[in-house]
């Protein structure tokens, strides 16, 4: 009976020179990683998200042989991805960030005024815009916790914070999000 190799087995095999092992690992996680990258970098930044995932894989490739197994492989990979996404956002530059911040403030002000929301905009878009306005710490927690590939415990491990802290941040993020959205649109 053939056992499916674990992530650690695949990483080890890749470190030993089996390229296909990385392919198998990518089959398991790449789409999820891409999803998280899209969530963290925001809608409409597909290229940036793909870049982040590519950088993530490059780091995995570079350090596969030195992975010590202090954490689960997928936790390690997700952590790399989160770091790469945060770097990408930082790399956009302070000017872009300020511009984004100004946009966020405007968005915040709009969101506090229910009448300012476009009636044609559906809830999904509003949620996406509201998430964009959240502080980074809340946004990352929200994206990871609502990502279908990770449990709260795993999200806490990715961020290297206690589970309680994660839940507190999640609660605060949700509260802030609810405040940002139009009351009648919140179910």
The interface region with other proteins, picked from 7-15, 94-102, 103-111, 112-120 by CB under 8 A, is 7-15
The interface region with other proteins, picked from 92-100, 101-109, 112-120, 135-143 by CB under 8 A, is 135-143
The least distance separating other proteins from the CB of residue 101, rounded to whole angstroms, comes to 17
Interacting residues with other proteins between 139 and 158 (CB under 8 A): 140-154, 158
53, 37 contact by CB (below 8 A): yes
**Distance between CA 63 and CA 114 in Å, rounded?**
49
Half-sphere exposure of 118 (CA within 13 A, CB side): 8
Q: Which of 45, 74, 88, 89 binds other proteins (CB under 8 A)?
A: 74
Is residue 121 part of the contact set for other proteins (CB under 8 A)?
A: no
The least distance separating other proteins from the CB of residue 35, rounded to whole angstroms, comes to 4
SS3 of 167, please? helix
Is residue 72 part of the contact set for other proteins (CB under 8 A)?
A: yes
Q: How many residues bind other proteins (CB under 8 A)?
A: 84
**Distance between CA 160 and CA 82 in Å, rounded?**
12
Q: Residue 38 — φ and ψ, nearest 5°?
A: -60, -45
Return the number of the residue (72 or 100) whose C-beta is nearest other proteins: 72
Is residue 168 part of the contact set for other proteins (CB under 8 A)?
A: no
Return the number of the residue (16 or 101) whose C-beta is nearest other proteins: 16
**Distance between CA 88 and CA 39 in Å, rounded?**
13
Interacting residues with other proteins between 47 and 66 (CB under 8 A): 50, 53-66
Is residue 6 part of the contact set for other proteins (CB under 8 A)?
A: yes
Other beta carbons within 10 angstroms of residue 121's beta carbon come to: 13
Is residue 28 part of the contact set for other proteins (CB under 8 A)?
A: yes
Residue 150, both tokens? 């990770």
**Distance between CA 41 and CA 89 in Å, rounded?**
7
Calculate the alpha carbon distances from 53 to 13, 78, 103, 108, 110 in Å: 21, 10, 27, 30, 33
Q: Which of 2, 17, 47, 119 binds other proteins (CB under 8 A)?
A: 17
């Amino acid at each position: 009976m053939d056992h499916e190799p674990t992530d650690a087995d695949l990483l080890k095999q890749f470190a030993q020179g089996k390229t296909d092992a990385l392919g198998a690992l990518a089959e398991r996680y790449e789409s999820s990683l891409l999803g998280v990258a899209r969530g963290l970098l925001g809608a409409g930044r597909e290229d940036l998200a793909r870049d982040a995932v590519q950088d993530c894989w490059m780091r995995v490739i570079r350090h596969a042989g030195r992975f010590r197994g202090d954490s689960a492989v997928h936790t390690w990979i997700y952590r790399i991805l989160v770091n790469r996404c945060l770097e990408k956002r930082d790399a956009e530059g302070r000017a872009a960030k300020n511009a984004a911040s100004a946009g966020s403030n405007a968005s915040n002000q709009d969101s506090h005024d229910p009448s300012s929301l476009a009636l044609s905009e559906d809830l999904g878009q509003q949620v996406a815009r509201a998430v964009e306005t959240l502080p980074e710490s809340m946004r990352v927690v929200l994206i990871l916790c609502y990502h279908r590939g990770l449990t709260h415990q795993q999200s806490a491990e990715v961020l290297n914070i206690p589970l309680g802290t994660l839940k507190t941040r999640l609660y605060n993020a949700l509260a802030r999000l609810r405040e940002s959205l139009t009351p009648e649109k919140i179910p």
